[in-house]
Amino acid sequence: MTQPLVAPAADTGADVAPPVRRRGRWIPYLLLLPGLLWLAIFFVLPMLTVASTSLQEGSLAQGYELTWRLANYTEAAQRYAAQFSRAFLFAAASTVLALVVSYPLAYFIAFKAGRWRNLLLLLVIAPFFTSFLIRTLAWKIILSDSGWVVGTFQTLGLLPEQGRLLATSVAVIAGLTYNFLPFMTLPLYASLEKIDRSLIEAATDLYASPFTAFWKVTWPLSLPGVVAGTLLTFIPAAGDFVNVRFLGTPSQSMIGNVIESRFLVVLDYPTAAALSFTLMLAILLLVGLYVRRAGTETIV
């Protein structure tokens, strides 16, 4: 018996499987949640508290009231303009000195150290094994009037017989430079270590002198490390107050010393908070101009 022929059904596309549902699309956001909570609790809330305090008026005995007093900012900026200028001047000087010292050191570690590289990097970060305070006190001993540094400088005629280094601007800048030196060295090393050596060899093959090869190849390729290192050095140096306390005098006081005194000694919280915000905004402005001028893109 002949079976009837049945034509196959036309494919209308009605039975196409639905798209697979994207699973786990919220996992990255959930992973970010602990960090966001940390920033909200320990950064955003304190910043809002300081902002509120900077707009208050009153006294510790009578209590403070939020009156939106913007005069706290103008009065603080006018009264302590010298300390602001000194803070930025000292921070800039220490940043330049740190760059001058750190660049040859980072260059040597990246290109010449060989199997001693890890040991030298360990020595760079070794100061972090002791506290910031102990390191600063060590410089107070080194630069003391009876120390070997002053004696050597006097012998060489670089200091007069009764000259001194401690309690001077030189001592403060030296302390800032030393304490923040690793923050300059490590970004420079990270940037120099990534440079393709064949680019330098190509420059020398094209009859470039060692200096020209450095200036045209190595220096531009290391600029991201220079920018990062200068920022990591300048920003904390501008707000530092420990080095002036132990290595300087009130005549070298920076804005960080004023803020620390207003918060902990005078107990003038609105002025201290206004100074803190003014310092932060000034640093953000300077950093923004610097980054815009220097650039942060990796040059290839």
Extract the tokens encoding 82.
């010298």
Summarised one tens digit per residue, pLDDT across range 115-138 is 999 999 999 999 889 999 999 999
The residues with which 57 forms a beta bridge, in sequence order, are: 65
> Is 35 part of any domain?
no
> Is 238 part of any domain?
yes
Confidence of residue 173 (pLDDT cuts 50, 70, 90): very high
> In terms of residue numbers, what domain contains 120?
71-129+181-294
> Is 202 part of any domain?
yes
Domain tally, the chain: 1
Rounded alpha-carbon distances, angstroms, from residue 150 to 26, 36, 121, 140: 63, 51, 30, 12
Summarised one tens digit per residue, pLDDT across range 52-94 is 999 999 888 888 888 999 999 999 989 999 999 999 999 999 9
> Is 201 part of any domain?
yes
> Is 156 part of any domain?
no
Q: How far separated are the first and last CA of the chain, in Å rounded?
A: 80
- Dmax (CA) for the chain in angstroms is 129
> Is 50 part of any domain?
no
Output the pTM of the full model.
0.85
> Is 63 part of any domain?
no
Q: What is the CATH number of the domain that holds 232?
A: 1.10.3720.10
